[in-house]
Amino acid sequence: MTELAAAVARARGSLYFSGARIADDLGRFLAEQGDACLALGHGYAPAIEQITLIGSGGSWASLLTAKYLLDGIVGVPVEALPSFELIWRDPVRLGPGTLVVVATYSGETEDTVKALRFAQERGARTLALVGRPGSTAAREAEAAVTYDSGAIFEVPVAALALLGEGMADEGRRGVAADLRRGLGALPGLLRSALAAEERRAEARAREFQDVDHLYVLGAGPLAPLAYKMALTVVMENIRIGATYCDASEFRHGPAEALARIAPAMLFLVGTDAARETTRQTLAFCQERGARTLVYDAAELGGAGLHPLLTPLLLNSFTQWFTVYAAIARGITDLDERVFMGHRVLTTDGSAWP
């Protein structure tokens, strides 16, 4: 076995490289906890007047993705905030009619735990989506959905889609049921779609091996994944500079930079209403010499997938690129962090970050 092959084999067992096994992890969650999430929604429906989604880093990106789904299902306002923002904003409307959903894989994220406690002090209902059973967030929230797998992006989205179906009024239950059917089909789609990606991913990573800054663009339901990819994947795992930009906002200022630079850019292209705007931005950048890496859901098995579920498909594809790009730069332990998890950035001794 070559050194590269050995490093990739180790990466397959990494907590944070869930793409290689996401079909099994997501399928197991849906089978074992899908009905419970639906029942939670039924229970919340009569009393909840608004939903506030709270998380940090990649968890916040998951919740922004879930907001896209919930906005089309539930009849109450939904907002998604970084954890400290809930405390700093101190909204007047936060109270017993609010369901505050916190997402934190470790269950120990300092800002998210503080936001959870703040919400409870204000009398809000609280639900934790937590990877670690028995963690602080799992213990202290009024209710918890726990999953012990690396599906850190996918499970919170799936759980909230099902919860939203339980809360949906009669006029939106059909939309919610379509999403549930799409979630049920996703594990099988991921198995087939990802079968050949490992071979393509190595070539893609080598093409961008000399890059020290990557711009990541997406729009619509893929904007949160683009944010996650730039800030909590490229910078966190590949450890080079990265900038996130909404593909539809690129024309409002950032486009002028291409008069002087030819950047390296990663584009996420969906099948929803934002597709043509994203493709227009992509074509503009390519015509002006940008080096582009494109993940198009329509070409990667997502043509028949519900458009709002394409982030759950493309996340796994981008993970394969990340693995090879990190290994090429000598980062062979994807679970290890230089600063995060070492209490360097916390104020009260919390375990994370």
pLDDT at 351: 65
pLDDT of residue 83: 97
Instruction: Report the length, in residues, of the chain.
Output: 353
Backbone angles phi, psi at 182, to 5 degrees: -65, -40
pLDDT of residue 196: 76
> Is residue 302 located within the same domain as residue 159?
no
Beta strand spans in the chain (E)? 50-55, 78-82, 98-104, 125-130, 143-146, 213-218, 241-246, 264-269, 291-296
> So what's the pLDDT on residue 1?
64
Classify strands 125-130 and 98-104 as parallel, antiparallel or unpaired: parallel
Show the tokens assigned to 41: 């929604």
Q: Is residue 121 exposed (0-12), middle (13-18) or buried (19+ Cβ within 10 Å)?
A: exposed
- The proportion of the chain whose per-residue pLDDT surpasses 90, expressed as a percent, equals 81
pTM of the model: 0.94
Picking from 190, 222, 243, the residue at the C-terminal end of a domain is 190
pLDDT at 16 over 80: no
Dihedral sign, Cα of residue 8, residue 12, residue 14, residue 19: positive
pLDDT digits (tens, 9 = 90+) for 164-201: 999 999 899 999 999 999 999 999 998 888 777 877 89
Whether residue 151 is found in the same domain as residue 133:
yes
Mean pLDDT of the chain: 93
- 260 with 132, same domain: the answer is no
**Residue-level pLDDT at 140:** 98
158 and 112 assigned to the same domain: yes
State how many domains the chain has.
2
> Sorting pLDDT into bands at 50, 70 and 90, what band is 334?
confident
One domain for residues 40 and 153: yes
Q: Are 183 and 158 in contact (CB under 8 A)?
A: yes
Residue 220, in any domain of the structure: yes
- 224-265 pLDDT per residue, tens: 999 999 999 999 999 999 999 999 999 999 999 999 999 999
More confident residue, 9 or 127: 127
Strand partners, 53: 80, 101
Residue 127: inside a domain: yes
Q: Which residue, of 190, 218, 237, is where some domain finishes?
A: 190
At 5 the pLDDT is 80
- The Cα–Cα gap between 206 and 327 comes to 10
Range ranked top by mean pLDDT from 187-196, 278-287, 328-337: 278-287
CB-side neighbour CA atoms (13 Å) of 28: 11
What local confidence, expressed as pLDDT, does residue 352 receive?
61
C-alpha 269/C-alpha 279 separation (Å) is 7
- Average pLDDT for 280-301: 97
Residue 219, H or E segment: none
275 lies in some domain: yes
Decide if pLDDT at 136 tops 80. Answer: yes
- 259 and 298 inside one domain: yes
Check pLDDT > 90 for residue 33: yes
- What's the domain range around 160? 22-190
